[in-house]
Amino acid sequence: MTTAVADAHEGHDEHGPAKGIGRWLFSTNHKDIGTMYLIFSLTMFFVGGAMAMVIRSELASPGLQFVHPEFFNSMTTMHALIMVFGAVMPAFVGLANWMIPLMIGAPDMALPRMNNWSFWILPVAFGILLSTLLMPGGAPASGWTMYPPLVLQTGDAFPFLIFSVHLMGISSIMGAINVIVTIINMRAPEMSLLKMPMFVWTWLITAYLLIAVMPVLAGAVTMLLTDQFFGTSFFLAAGGGDPVMFQHIFWFFGHPEVYIMILPAFGVVSEIIPTFSRKPLFGHDSMVYAASSIAFLSFIVWAHHMFTVGMPLTGQMFFMFATMLIAVPTGVKVFNWVATMWRGAMTFETPMLFSLAFVFLFTIGGFSGLMLAIAPADIQYHDTYFVVAHFHYVLVPGSVFAIMAGAYYWLPKWTGHMYNEKLGKLHFWSSTIFVNITFFPMHFLGLAGMPRRIPDYSTQFTDFNTIASIGAIGFGLSQLIFVWVILSAWKGSKASDRVWEGSHGLEWTLPSPTPYHTWETPPKARIANEAFE
């Protein structure tokens, strides 16, 4: 037995990482792959952010100053595609890769080689997507929603758009399969499902959503491809097809997609608030049921994106009622977070600040969401800046702040050093102030009648647009502080294993930084029980 083992390990040097570029290209290590996802996502965040700066520069004053309308439409389209598929989703997958095995006592993800491919597809996909900026006809400019017939007017970029969406989808599906198989099969013996941390729970639910809906998106964009090149008429009225059918198929994917982008955020915040309140998460089981309810309901509300498309009255009523219902489990989660804080002993380190801002500002996004659910009122909000305000509130001080909260929270565990807390707080306050300056006025713009996706506007919309553009510059520049915090993390003081006084969970019983391989033997029952809340 010893001989066989010794032979197999001959090439290894104490199970440390490989040297050189091969370590990253061929990695099957969940920590390295998690790191690559996070770095990729941060890079894409800046690429998408640069596009946002083009948009906000043009919109800072009426009249067309900098770009042609076609290019402006490409900017709004690519900004969304990159932020959704290149920044937010990969960031959560990166956090999942790093933390799920650590939190459940598993040595790695269940399918480490598939994990590698899940990551490496992404730079290829985005290379293809970004290359369309240089193609005749320009990058896709039909909105990230890709509605036909307009999307079929895309130039040479069209098949590359479809191909890159397929690649992103394959990456997500493989990642989701990996998450489910890991969580179901590789938990430490004492960790029953209901004993799992909330971050793991929300990722389990998110993974099921991904597997359910990414193939639907793939189907939708394949039908676009065949309509364009292979003579089908799925969405072309002249051939007997229906443009509205695309919208149904797209949003059947699209609505669960937005919950895919927020559920892991709920998980992160549910880890952080108890730690810094020094109090267990209030209503843990209720939080699990609420997250599951949200996931289930997310499948039956899609047409609230289509209230003006000409739906029968009964359809509008059903989707209005179902959409309003989602407010209930979402509210339950907010109340549970507040109850966790209540009569705790709070301190306000950077992860907690981002998590608290999340609760406040995501709730505001939730309120505008409830208003949007009211179908007759939505007639006035649909396709206006009111919608833009809503989804940016739930995505930026929602998802993005949760990602940053998670990054600050777990960075000492990953690097073994405390990041610069003063700079972290500066990043937080700067981001929070500017994110509100950017997106709050958009509520007013939408109510005042400004439509979406226009490069120029009537002069009565000037003042709030200028304010939003100033906010955008401030928010963008603030993110450079984040980069500096990360790059200088290794200069900080050494981090303890526990890092944060009130933390609980298996990851905090491991050394900081975590060794390259962890939980090669599952955690003992005693340690496991100690770590649980």
Task: At 508, give phi and psi (nearest 5°).
Answer: -85, 0
Q: Which stretch binds other proteins (CB under 8 A): 37-45, 183-191, 193-201, 312-320?
A: 312-320
* Residue 305 known to be catalytic: yes
Q: Does 308 bind other proteins (CB under 8 A)?
A: yes
Strand residue runs (E) in 36-130: none
Candidates 404, 400, 319, 388; CA nearest to 362 is: 400
Active site annotation includes 501: no
The catalytically annotated residue of 32, 58, 257, 378 is 257
> Which structure tokens are listed for 302?
């899609």
**Known catalytic residue at 30:** no
> Interaction with other proteins in 10-39: which residues (CB under 8 A)?
none
User: Which residue among 6, 14, 376, 526 contacts other proteins (CB under 8 A)?
Assistant: 376
**Does the annotation mark 383 as catalytic?**
no
Is the distance from CB of 107 to CB of 23 less than 8 angstroms?
Answer: no
Q: Which of residues 59-78 bind other proteins (CB under 8 A)?
A: 62-70, 73
By three-state DSSP, how is residue 404 classified?
helix
Tell the smallest beta-carbon distance from residue 484 to other proteins (Å): 28
Minimum distance from residue 241 beta carbon to other proteins (Å): 8
Looking at this protein, which amino acid is placed at residue 457?
Answer: Y
CA–CA separation, 155 and 134 (whole Å): 11
Cβ closest to other proteins, residue 208 vs residue 318: 318
The verdict on 280 binding other proteins (CB under 8 A) reads yes
| Least gap, CB of 431 to other proteins (angstroms) | 19
Q: Please state, in angstroms and rounded to a whole number, the distance separating the CA atoms of residues 195 and 182.
A: 16
Decide: residue 470, CB within 10 A, 0-12 exposed, 13-18 middle, 19+ buried: middle
The DSSP symbol for 449 reads T
Nearest residue (CB) to other proteins, 143 versus 215? 143
Q: Which two tokens stand for residue 248?
A: 């149904």
Tokens linked to 409: 């929270």
Q: Least distance from C-beta 323 to other proteins, angstroms? A: 10
Sequence-distant (6+) residues with CB within 8 A of 358 are 265, 269, 397, 398, 401, 402, 405
* Whether residue 355 lies in the annotated active site: no
Question: Using CB under 8 A, which residues numbered 431 to 450 contact other proteins?
Answer: 444, 447-449
Shortest distance, position 158 Cβ to other proteins, whole Å:
14
In this chain, which stretch among 7-15, 197-205, 214-222, 314-322 interacts with other proteins, using CB under 8 A? 314-322
Residues 255-265, buried b or exposed e (16+ Cβ, 10 A)?
Answer: bbbbbbbbbbb
Q: Which of 238, 487, 520, 526 forms a contact with other proteins (CB under 8 A)?
A: 238
Residue 533 within binding range of other proteins, rule CB under 8 A:
yes
- Chain positions 149 to 188 lying near other proteins, rule: CB under 8 A, are 149-150, 153
Among 219, 243, 492, 513, binds other proteins (CB under 8 A): 243
**CB under 8 A: which stretch of 87-95, 242-250, 257-265, 297-305 binds other proteins?**
242-250
Look-up: residue for tokens 């810094």? 276
Cβ neighbors of 217 (< 8 A, separation 6 or more) are: 165, 169, 250, 253, 254, 257
Is residue 147 within 8 A of residue 247, CB to CB? The reply is yes
Is residue 504 part of the annotated active site? The answer reads no
Contact 109, 178 (CB under 8 A): yes
Binding to other proteins, residues 338-367 (CB under 8 A): 338-339, 341-347, 356, 359-360, 363-364, 367
77 versus 118: smaller Cβ distance to other proteins? 77
* Spatial separation of the C-alpha atoms in residues 43 and 47, rounded to whole Å: 6
Q: Is 192 one of the annotated active-site residues of the chain?
A: no
Residues 104-143 that bind other proteins (CB under 8 A): 141-143
**Residue from the set 313, 493, 520, 521 that interacts with other proteins by CB under 8 A:** 313
Tell me the C-alpha distance between 377 and 429, whole Å. 34
Which of 304, 413, 417, 504 is catalytic? The answer is 304
**Catalytically annotated residues:** 79, 108, 144, 171-172, 255, 257, 259, 270, 304-305, 330, 333, 452
